[in-house]
Amino acid sequence: MSTIARTEDNVVSEKQSEVNPALTANVVIRASAGTGKTFQLTNRYLRQLFSGAPPEEILATTFTRKAAGEILERNMLRLAEAALDDAKCRELATFLEKPELTRDDCLKLLQNLTRGLHRIRICTLDSFFSQVASSFGFEMGLPPDWSIVDEIDDVQLKNKAVQAVLKNEKTDATVQLMHLLTKGETTRTVGELIRQLVDSLYSIFLQTTADAWKSFPRTRPLSKDKLKQAIECLKSVELPQHKSIADARTSDLANAAAHDWDAFVSNGIAKVVAAGQTTYYRKDLGQAAVEVYSDLIRHARAVLVDLVARQTEATYDLLSRFDLRYSQLKDDARLLQFDDVTRLLADVAQDNDIDRLSYRMDGRISHILLDEFQDTSLPQWQVIRPFAKETTRRKKGRSFFCVGDVKQAIYGWRGGVAEIFDAIETELKGLTRTELNRSFRSAPAIMDVTNSIFNGLRALNDAEAADDFDAVHQWCRNFQDHSTARENLPGYARLVTAPAAHNPDDSSSDQFDLIMRRAAGMVAEMVRRSPHLTIGVLARRNKVVSRMIFELRQLGIAASEEGGNPLTDSAAVQLIMSLLKLADHPGNTVARFHVAQSPLGRALGFTEFGSHRQAERLARSIRDRLQSEGYGPLLREWADVLMPSCAARGRRRLSQLVELGYVWQNHSTLRTTDFLRFVELKKVPDPTADKVRVMTVHQSKGLEFDIVVLPDLDQKLVGQPDVFVVDRPSPTEPIHRVCRYRNAKIQELLPDDFQRMFRRERQTEISEAMCVLYVAVTRARHALHMLIAPAKPSEKKVPKTIAGLLRMALADGVPAEPNRVLYECGDPDWQDQLSTEPAVVTDTVAKGPDTVKPIDPVKSGIAFAPMTAGRQRGLSRKAPSKHQQHRKVRLSSVIGHENLPAMERGTLIHAWFEQIEWIDGNGVPDDDVLLQKAAEVGAGSLDVDKLLKQFRKMLKSPQISAGLTSTSYRPPKDLTLPPALQQQLQNASPEQIRLEVRNEHPFAVREGGEIVSGFIDRLVLIYLNNQLIAGDIVDFKTDTFAVDDPASLQQKVDYYQDQLDAYRRVVSLLYRLPPEHISARLFMVGAGKIADV
């Protein structure tokens, strides 16, 4: 049975294996997440090559250089593997349905490709358009020797254009324009206002004519006399006797007298009359009152619509003046943006036939392969359209291939129009549509939760939010059930609430803090349990990315920051920024103090921040050196001074600052403030090789992780609206209407077609929010953890947020109480079914429903020759717990509570033991402190009170209690240490022995060719006369075993031997202690036993 619900003749299911997209001449593939679209594209490309198509006649495009490189690499790799291995050759022949394919054929084709790399057209659309534009410079009006402007030059050109606009404006006109655009409510400068408008609207301006901005139908407002008369009528008109009605009239009169028509139509009696109602507080207003109000409402509508019209038109006029200056500056510098090339080329492509285009390009395009087509913009499609029509019209020797997924259309904000994907099937004739909904990435649990979310949302109904839910329903109507080829892959998914804020109705920031800490605690426990698995923490906002990095760092978890934030998040970078501020303004006493109190100040001989003469001398020296040496070398010198004082991340951020210095050098000015502004605005990612990666959902597109954590689900479906709204007659037609955004009440006063435009815009934003959710949940291979805020006590209905949609789809009727699992599917102990190495899965597609052929470039036999001196960078990482590979144990059997989430219980027990330094010192924290800690780490569905009793019982065990006292170390009678060292400590007085306790001690050390990292539960450092001479490693275990059977305890010791030996080596490296001076013990807290290891 086909997996596709529709049965049109031109639709092909992935399970109808007799139709191979690699063979179909003209095909559109709608490929859901993880179904192998890249694999299909490479199949298509290789098929064309083996059929004799020259590489220069095959155009394969995507949206990023990285993706284009991956497609080229995948093609080369598959050919290389097939040339070396008979089995790989047969596999490739099967996928391409070329049984005659031989290893020699693959080798010859690989040789031809490598010799002609310069002829291969696997590239981004921007790159292809630039190649075409180089052949049409005259027709496009391009300056000679033009080039693409870089980011820094473009910012400077735009700033100059803004300054030119302001310079040519009269002061009165500038003030009037600013007041019109902001209603006098802005605190920004005119220059900042113009730059904001340019950044958000210039691309729209370039796609429109003046008519699109000046299409408002206006009505005439009341004259001054008639308005005065209408207000007088409002004073005297008879209204029902009711205090609230009288108060409402008074307020309406005040708003009308003040000409505050926005407030007038948004409140009181005018509001209900404008909505077509004739009663107020269940009292009939009467015909006379309704007519008076109607006259004033018509006047208000005329005034307010006119204001929107004038704001929109003024914006166009302002952008026109900016465009004139900006275009002149770009022409003078012979610079273009990629968008300029695309827009100008679209006109050329429509005015020339394909033969002329091919002639001018010195080569034709016979085969087109388009990747991620759902993100294509209209100007880009206008350039590609003539080539696409040609390849689909001529049957022989031509083909068209397009792959994408409208469910992953998350780039509408940068011009992508997903509806073009739907439109091409009517624009291009003879296309066959194939749909792929079978994942080769995710476990069944992930597919189950994905289906449950979007099928559940399809059934939602809310009369008060009909338009919003219509958009949700429309999105879900196109969703088809997903399945997976990896049916035996273990997995788990859950929707869980965070702890509640102290005052949840009043403090959203406190709730946000708790969610962030809870998410970080969840990740920390995952790392502790499975350090070899990849974890993706995905957020909708950059703010959450930076906060998660901070929270993870607080827990000692190394994480890669993919999203990008300004380098000013580093204290070392801020110090150098202060030095550059001092160079620009020696009188800046804050910067002077910052530098003088730092290692950098001491290195520069500036330690007296109050000395103006020293500050002047230092500032002059820095300015001179910047002019003679440049930013890069000088920043490198300062960074070298600070490197020894920084942790790893600080050193990376300093190195990135140095790189920005070299980038800035060709654009430098006489003022360091320009460079400071560049650094403050430039977002720089902090990627590392760590298993935990934190990024936005947009940046996760195309990636996959063993575990995905979603902590940013409580934002509204539609965020802050854009400043302007646009409308098109159809997705493939240009913008024909632009309007400044106004609130819902003002929208109701606009003409009907403008109101429909606003509704469509909101529905588009909701649709994109749904796409973001889909992308987020489908990144996971094994596990998906969705963390949301609990319901507020005052909540009367589920909020219109992504979290609210998840609650309705997955947990309808389940109270969203704090620390509660609202939904789960799969096996919570799924990790027990895995080996310690992750199963890396890449995009693959099987020929038939029973065939799974993963292609894994990571594990390919094709590799560079190894370095003879061993690996120096990017060392592989391992955790001591990975030594435990000789045996698997279900966690439920270890902790003895199968009915409780094992990870959360382990986190909580360790967190409580972490609070104890010495029982005979600070004692054991009281219940309030421990319960607060439980709230911080998130106790989920655990019975915290019951666990607290068990924890107290653990501490009453004689052995455990004694082991946590300082007296047991003065002297250390129970530690396994060399006899001589034991005797030395026995002879010492208690005052001579000093102890340091380090709970949850993080470490990362190099051992051979690997980085060993992890946490030691408890490390006690023993000093004799202030000299470190010994250490004691304590590892808390909650394993269950037969307490009275010594053999059972010995089995536990044997099981953890490798792990504790690794900890012993780590401590030896960190503290330069002989291994024999380091004791290691297992505290079997559940059984009340201590065992030496």
Give the separation between CA 592 and CA 583, rounded to whole angstroms: 10
CA angle 674/678/680 to nearest 5° reads: 115
Is residue 871 a part of any domain in this protein?
no
Angle subtended by helix axes 190-206 and 287-333, to nearest 10: 90
| Preceding peptide of 971 cis, ω within 30° | yes
- Secondary element (H or E) of residue 1002: strand 993-1007
How confident is the model at residue 1081, as a pLDDT? 93
Exposure on the CB side of residue 443, measured as CA atoms within 13 A: 26
DSSP character string of 883-928: G--S----HHHHHS-TTS-HHHHHHHHHHHHHT-S-TTTT----HH
pLDDT band at 1058 (very low <50, low <70, confident <90, very high): confident
- For range 918-940, the mean pLDDT: 78
Question: What is the number of other CB atoms lying within 10 angstroms of the CB of residue 793?
Answer: 9
Residues 435, 458 within the same domain:
no
Residues 34, 19 within the same domain:
yes
How confident is the model at residue 921, as a pLDDT? 79
Domain housing 80: 11-143+340-439
Burial profile 70-82: b = 16 or more Cβ within 10 angstroms, e = fewer: bbbebbbbbbbbb
Give the separation between CA 700 and CA 549, rounded to whole angstroms: 16
- For range 1054-1068, the mean pLDDT: 90
pLDDT band at 860 (very low <50, low <70, confident <90, very high): very low
DSSP character string of 487-521: TT---EEEEEEPPPPSSTTT-HHHHHHHHHHHHHH
Residues in the chain: 1093
pLDDT at 845 over 80: no
Least confident of 39-53, 682-696, 810-824, 935-949: 935-949
Residues 481, 519 within the same domain:
yes
How confident is the model at residue 1033, as a pLDDT? 95
> Exposed, middle or buried: residue 276 (CB in 10 Å: 0-12, 13-18, 19+)?
exposed
3-state secondary structure of 87: helix
For residue 801, the 8-state DSSP code is: B
Which residue type occupies 186? Answer: T
Q: Do residues 398 and 391 lie in contact, with contact meaning Cβ atoms separated by under 8 Å?
A: yes
Burial profile 795-808: b = 16 or more Cβ within 10 angstroms, e = fewer: eeebbbbbbbbbbb
How confident is the model at residue 106, as a pLDDT? 95
- For range 541-569, the mean pLDDT: 88
Give the separation between CA 746 and CA 238, rounded to whole angstroms: 28
**Which of 163-177, 242-256, 875-889 shows the highest mean pLDDT?**
242-256
pLDDT band at 648 (very low <50, low <70, confident <90, very high): confident
Question: What is the number of other CB atoms lying within 10 angstroms of the CB of residue 1010?
Answer: 13
Token couple for 385: 């359209």
Residues 347, 328 within the same domain:
no
3-state secondary structure of 1092: strand
Return all residues near 222 (Cβ < 8 A) that are at least 6 apart.
Answer: 230, 295, 298, 299, 302
Give residue 183's Cα distance to chain centre: 35
pLDDT at 844 over 70: no
Q: How are beta strands 705-710 and 1027-1037 bridged, if at all?
A: unpaired
Give residue 399's Cα distance to chain centre: 36
How confident is the model at residue 804, as a pLDDT? 92
Return all residues near 805 (Cβ < 8 A) that are at least 6 apart.
Answer: 453, 457, 460, 472, 717, 773
pLDDT at 462 over 70: no
Return all residues near 823 (Cβ < 8 A) that are at least 6 apart.
Answer: 449, 452, 493, 494, 495, 810, 811, 814
How confident is the model at residue 108, as a pLDDT? 95
How confident is the model at residue 1051, as a pLDDT? 85
**CATH assignment at residue 19:** 3.40.50.300
> pLDDT tens digits, residue range 1042-1054?
777 888 888 888 8
Report how many domains make up the chain. 5
- Secondary element (H or E) of residue 110: helix 103-115
Q: Do residues 439 and 485 lie in contact, with contact meaning Cβ atoms separated by under 8 Å?
A: yes
Is residue 4 a part of any domain in this protein?
no
Token couple for 746: 């003002």
How confident is the model at residue 230, as a pLDDT? 93
How confident is the model at residue 258, as a pLDDT? 92
Exposure on the CB side of residue 18, measured as CA atoms within 13 A: 1
pLDDT at 887 over 80: no
- For range 532-559, the mean pLDDT: 92
- For range 11-16, the mean pLDDT: 40
Return all residues near 800 (Cβ < 8 A) that are at least 6 apart.
Answer: 465, 468, 716, 717
How confident is the model at residue 364, as a pLDDT? 86
Residues 99, 193 within the same domain:
no
pLDDT band at 221 (very low <50, low <70, confident <90, very high): very high
Residues 231, 346 within the same domain:
no
Residues 197, 328 within the same domain:
yes
Return all residues near 337 (Cβ < 8 A) that are at least 6 apart.
Answer: 148, 149, 154, 330
pLDDT at 886 over 50: no
Is residue 854 a part of any domain in this protein?
no
Token couple for 387: 């080539």
pLDDT at 858 over 60: no
Residues 192, 329 within the same domain:
yes
Q: Do residues 428 and 370 lie in contact, with contact meaning Cβ atoms separated by under 8 Å?
A: no
Distances in whole angstroms, Cα of residue 349 to Cα of each of 19, 353, 415, 731: 34, 8, 20, 19
- For range 361-379, the mean pLDDT: 88
Higher-confidence position of 1087 and 573: 573
How confident is the model at residue 179, as a pLDDT? 66
> pLDDT tens digits, residue range 1033-1043?
999 887 777 77
Q: Which residue has the tokens 């997995």?
A: 491
Question: What is the number of other CB atoms lying within 10 angstroms of the CB of residue 91?
Answer: 17
Beta bridge partners of 495: 786, 823
Give the separation between CA 780 and CA 489, rounded to whole angstroms: 12
Is residue 731 a part of any domain in this protein?
no
How confident is the model at residue 1032, as a pLDDT? 96
Angle subtended by helix axes 103-115 and 86-96, to nearest 10: 80
How confident is the model at residue 909, as a pLDDT? 83
pLDDT at 1016 over 80: yes
Is residue 879 a part of any domain in this protein?
no
Return all residues near 226 (Cβ < 8 A) that are at least 6 apart.
Answer: none
How confident is the model at residue 995, as a pLDDT? 92
Is residue 734 a part of any domain in this protein?
no
Q: Which residue has the tokens 């929107």?
A: 308
Exposure on the CB side of residue 37, measured as CA atoms within 13 A: 27
Q: Do residues 255 and 263 lie in contact, with contact meaning Cβ atoms separated by under 8 Å?
A: yes
**CATH assignment at residue 982:** 3.90.320
How confident is the model at residue 187, as a pLDDT? 52
For residue 852, the 8-state DSSP code is: -
Return all residues near 674 (Cβ < 8 A) that are at least 6 apart.
Answer: 668
- Residue from 509, 454, 459, 518 nearest 482 by CA: 454
3-state secondary structure of 428: coil
Is residue 17 a part of any domain in this protein?
yes
- For range 634-643, the mean pLDDT: 94
Higher-confidence position of 20 and 124: 124
How confident is the model at residue 90, as a pLDDT? 95
- Residue from 618, 580, 610, 572 nearest 593 by CA: 610
Q: In whole numbers, what is the pLDDT of the chain averaged over residues?
A: 84
Q: Is the pTM of this model over 0.75?
A: no
How confident is the model at residue 1, as a pLDDT? 33
pLDDT at 835 over 70: no
First to last CA, the chain: 60
pLDDT at 1089 over 70: yes
CA angle 421/422/425 to nearest 5° reads: 95
For residue 972, the 8-state DSSP code is: B
pLDDT at 281 over 50: yes
Torsion of CA 517, 520, 522, 524, to 10 degrees: -130
Burial profile 347-378: b = 16 or more Cβ within 10 angstroms, e = fewer: bbbeebebeebbeeeeebbbbbbbbbbbbbbb
3-state secondary structure of 368: strand
How confident is the model at residue 690, as a pLDDT? 85
- Secondary element (H or E) of residue 1051: helix 1046-1071
How confident is the model at residue 175, as a pLDDT? 64
Residues 240, 276 within the same domain:
yes
- Secondary element (H or E) of residue 418: none
Residues 307, 235 within the same domain:
yes
pLDDT at 17 over 50: no
pLDDT at 494 over 50: yes
pLDDT band at 170 (very low <50, low <70, confident <90, very high): low
How confident is the model at residue 729, as a pLDDT? 87
Is residue 866 a part of any domain in this protein?
no
Least confident of 125-139, 267-281, 342-356, 955-969: 342-356
> pLDDT tens digits, residue range 22-64?
556 799 999 999 998 889 999 999 999 999 999 999 999 998 8
How confident is the model at residue 7, as a pLDDT? 32
pLDDT at 21 over 70: no
Residues 812, 703 within the same domain:
yes
pLDDT band at 1026 (very low <50, low <70, confident <90, very high): confident
- For range 149-167, the mean pLDDT: 89
Give the separation between CA 8 and CA 1034, rounded to whole angstroms: 67
How confident is the model at residue 903, as a pLDDT? 60
Residues 621, 601 within the same domain:
yes
pLDDT at 588 over 90: yes
Return all residues near 526 (Cβ < 8 A) that are at least 6 apart.
Answer: 533, 535, 707, 709, 903
Give the separation between CA 849 and CA 853, rounded to whole angstroms: 11
For residue 214, the 8-state DSSP code is: S
